[in-house]
Chain A
């Protein structure tokens, strides 16, 4: 009996655990990160982005934020295009995380303007009132670049002396924002996946004052962080005296303005609530 032979027992136990290991952990190397699954537009990190990513790791951001959008309605509608393995080929380590104390960040790149991130990192609750994220104001300090070149070489990422020189005077916060803007933004999903607004657009709540209280709440939650609670503008422009037609305002909120840093809210708000917001915006005038 092997229960009397410890060395044979040890070898047998090792063999037993290696079966599943080889099939589910070693073999997949053959298929994962296969060149056929590569996405040409996915680029390695620049020195600044890589330093930002290392700060993300140092601060343990992955303890509260995931970076994988699953192909499920509640994920894709909320965060954007689902994640593909080809997008992560330069991620050593991967940062998919396991718990969403905060939202998923796989598609955060390009969602908000840089100024939003800076304000949010310094004082999260100023931007998202009920957030429980710690304040990262202390990142506003000079970036340590002593290891940057060694890091780029270790990961075999291309860089130029100009990239390294450009790090002078940068703060940790700059690096973090540069990283945030890169995450999930290498594939053109914002353009291709953009919700097209088609047909004639007519505001079902035009001049319907009864929707204003609800619309004001929606504004406070989704818009005030950038446009200010009094609509005077901050990160985004002043919205008082909106003189654009309802349909135009609707399209802006619903589909966003990628170049202008305005996120698309169509997936989160839906048509009805977007129209209510339009009604609210049109009702506010400069005194």
Chain B
């Protein structure tokens, strides 16, 4: 009954629900580790220390919530934009199982300390190999669906989807190259500064290929769907797309400014990071100009509110990011709390707001009902916005304060503060960040409840009126 037009939508439902489960795990762990930083007594070794939990937080967020929902919407969007049913629903079903097995394995192995130490590529080689299988299954299914499509022209979203499929594959394979010692232990195939350069080429382009191109694909699809008017400029979309995926790959070394990797690599990364403002803002303007004459919808249509705030945070993120990649500014704020503040504006502000909108849009349609409560969705919006702003703003202030203290000198040229003196001043900010996290969590719970009720009401209605 849910396979309208022959689309494989049950699988979309599965991915949406599981990505929300992992999203909740990511936020719960995130809130917990923010309390651990403020109250070290909350570390319970060996399994529940900050050092072991932080990778679980990032992996659950990026791979569980992020990738999980991208899989849902790639399958949803691709079928509709190609007017073709999914190439192999059976393969997609296997993919959902494998996805959950991989994420659960990731959480368990990381808690046990099986960890490659490379950020966002922590999973030991057996789990990482399963990720590769998962991605191949997914990519083949989407590409084959596009190949046998019935709509000749490929809309912008499909370009971003294709770029994501190939980009993630290249990045993941190269950075996960390992020398296995046992099933639970391996060493990186690269050494020292080479390993660092490969890692941050991966690390920053995970931001490109996981936290930028997929949400853009989703944004470009759901903004016109939500507002009922087409996207402002196809041509601007073309220029932005190619320049974005060209420039991003040069920028990884801005994570390594002042580190012992060649100077020219750092300088190229800095230059390209600044240039990236152009394609990033082309997407922002494409979103804004699509709202011409439609701005009243910000008030009337809660979906538009999520999407436009999302693209606005994307715009701010892509101004702040390049500024951080400039050597002098990096020298000041790198290694401080400023950076987590920056990252969470992207993940909570940009990626998650867009995903919330997409879920609010699709779930009622997939279950042939209306969203359970729009006031609750509005409340959700304001809570997650407040929580995220508290998080980011306190961390920016904390970062600037600590940086200033670390750089303070006495008249005789010696440093004024020891490290611990600068760190001890951060506790008040850490309390506030944890409070921001709790507010965000409250918003998320409201969202989950709203979607849960939407689904149960939808199912109840379907039972009453058999198709």
Interface residues of A (CB under 8 A from B): 3-4, 6-7, 9-10, 13-14, 16-21, 23-25, 28-29, 31-33, 54, 57-64, 66, 68, 70-74, 77-78, 83-85, 87-96, 98-104, 124-125, 128, 130-138, 147, 150-151, 154-155, 221-222, 266-273
Do B418 and A93 touch across chains, with their CB atoms under 8 A apart? no
Do A98 and B339 touch across chains, with their CB atoms under 8 A apart? yes
Do A267 and B415 touch across chains, with their CB atoms under 8 A apart? yes
Q: Is the interface of B mostly helix, strand, loop or mixed?
A: helix
Do A136 and B162 touch across chains, with their CB atoms under 8 A apart? no
Instruction: Return chain A residues, CB-CB under 8 Å to B4.
Output: none
Identity of the chain B residue whose Cβ is nearest the Cβ of A4 in the assembled complex: B152
Q: Say which residue of A21, A64, A70 sits within 8 Å of B259 (CB atoms).
A: A70
Do B37 and A57 touch across chains, with their CB atoms under 8 A apart? no
Q: How far is the CB of B71 from chain A (nearest CB, A)?
A: 18
Do A33 and B193 touch across chains, with their CB atoms under 8 A apart? yes
Identity of the chain A residue whose Cβ is nearest the Cβ of B165 in the assembled complex: A10
Q: A63 CA to B52 CA in the complex, in Å?
A: 9
Q: How far is the CB of B247 from chain A (nearest CB, A)?
A: 7
Q: Which of B180-210 contact A (CB under 8 A)?
A: 180-182, 185, 187-199, 201
Instruction: Return chain A residues, CB-CB under 8 Å to B193.
Output: 32-33, 85, 88, 94
- Asked whether any CB of chain A lies closer than 8 Å to the CB of B134, the reply is no
- Asked whether any CB of chain A lies closer than 8 Å to the CB of B143, the reply is yes
Q: A4 CA to B250 CA in the complex, in Å?
A: 28
Q: A98 CA to B423 CA in the complex, in Å?
A: 16
Q: A172 CA to B410 CA in the complex, in Å?
A: 41
Q: A136 CA to B46 CA in the complex, in Å?
A: 8
Instruction: Return chain B residues, CB-CB under 8 Å to A60.
Output: 49-52, 54-55, 113, 115, 117
- Asked whether any CB of chain A lies closer than 8 Å to the CB of B372, the reply is no
Do A132 and B38 touch across chains, with their CB atoms under 8 A apart? yes
Which of the candidate stretches B10-18, B262-270, B373-381 sits at the interface with the other chain?
A: B262-270
The size class of the interface chain B forms with chain A is 35 or more
Q: Which of B155-186 contact A (CB under 8 A)?
A: 158-159, 162-163, 165-167, 170, 174, 179-182, 185
Do B40 and A125 touch across chains, with their CB atoms under 8 A apart? yes
Q: How far is the CB of A258 from chain B (nearest CB, A)?
A: 20
Q: Say which residue of B49, B113, B268, B339 sits within 8 Å of A23 (CB atoms).
A: B268
Do B412 and A270 touch across chains, with their CB atoms under 8 A apart? yes
Instruction: Return chain B residues, CB-CB under 8 Å to A84.
Output: 260
- Asked whether any CB of chain A lies closer than 8 Å to the CB of B72, the reply is no
Instruction: Return chain A residues, CB-CB under 8 Å to B466.
Output: none
Do B50 and A134 touch across chains, with their CB atoms under 8 A apart? yes
- Asked whether any CB of chain A lies closer than 8 Å to the CB of B465, the reply is no
Do A100 and B117 touch across chains, with their CB atoms under 8 A apart? no
Identity of the chain A residue whose Cβ is nearest the Cβ of B335 in the assembled complex: A100
Instruction: Return chain B residues, CB-CB under 8 Å to A9.
Output: 154, 159, 162
Instruction: Return chain A residues, CB-CB under 8 Å to B449.
Output: none
A58-B115, A60-B52, A99-B340 as given contacts; A28 in contact with B265, CB under 8 Å = yes
Q: How far is the CB of B279 from chain A (nearest CB, A)?
A: 12
Do B246 and A16 touch across chains, with their CB atoms under 8 A apart? yes
Q: Which of B70-109 contact A (CB under 8 A)?
A: none
Do A270 and B260 touch across chains, with their CB atoms under 8 A apart? no
Q: How far is the CB of A216 from chain B (nearest CB, A)?
A: 16
Instruction: Return chain A residues, CB-CB under 8 Å to B50.
Output: 60, 63-64, 101, 134
- Asked whether any CB of chain A lies closer than 8 Å to the CB of B419, the reply is yes
Q: Which of B174, B245, B259 has the most CB of A within 10 A?
A: B259
Q: A66 CA to B335 CA in the complex, in Å?
A: 8
Q: Say which residue of B152, B167, B199 sits within 8 Å of A94 (CB atoms).
A: B199
Do B191 and A24 touch across chains, with their CB atoms under 8 A apart? no
Q: Which of A29, A63, A104 has the most CB of B within 10 A?
A: A63
Q: Say which residue of A130, A133, A155 sits within 8 Å of B179 (CB atoms).
A: A155
Q: Say which residue of B117, B174, B272 sits within 8 Å of A95 (CB atoms).
A: B117
- Asked whether any CB of chain A lies closer than 8 Å to the CB of B255, the reply is yes
Listed by A's residue number, 5 A-B pairs whose Cβ atoms lie within 8 Å are A58-B114, A77-B414, A134-B50, A147-B181, A270-B413
Q: A9 CA to B412 CA in the complex, in Å?
A: 62
- Asked whether any CB of chain A lies closer than 8 Å to the CB of B218, the reply is no
Instruction: Return chain B residues, CB-CB under 8 Å to A150.
Output: 181-182
Q: Say which residue of B37, B190, B248, B331 sits within 8 Å of A92 (CB atoms).
A: B190
Q: Say which residue of B248, B331, B407 sits within 8 Å of A20 (CB atoms).
A: B248
Instruction: Return chain A residues, CB-CB under 8 Å to B265.
Output: 24, 28
Do B419 and A17 touch across chains, with their CB atoms under 8 A apart? no
- Asked whether any CB of chain A lies closer than 8 Å to the CB of B5, the reply is no
Q: Say which residue of A13, A31, A135 sits within 8 Å of B163 (CB atoms).
A: A13
Do B166 and A17 touch across chains, with their CB atoms under 8 A apart? yes
Instruction: Return chain A residues, CB-CB under 8 Å to B191.
Output: 33, 88-92, 94
Do A74 and B55 touch across chains, with their CB atoms under 8 A apart? no
Do B197 and A28 touch across chains, with their CB atoms under 8 A apart? yes
Q: How far is the CB of B84 from chain A (nearest CB, A)?
A: 12
Known pairs A9-B159, A33-B193, A93-B117 / 5 extra A-B pairs, C-beta < 8 Å: A4-B152, A6-B162, A17-B248, A77-B415, A133-B40
Q: How far is the CB of A24 from chain B (nearest CB, A)?
A: 5
Identity of the chain A residue whose Cβ is nearest the Cβ of B152 in the assembled complex: A4
Do B143 and A72 touch across chains, with their CB atoms under 8 A apart? no
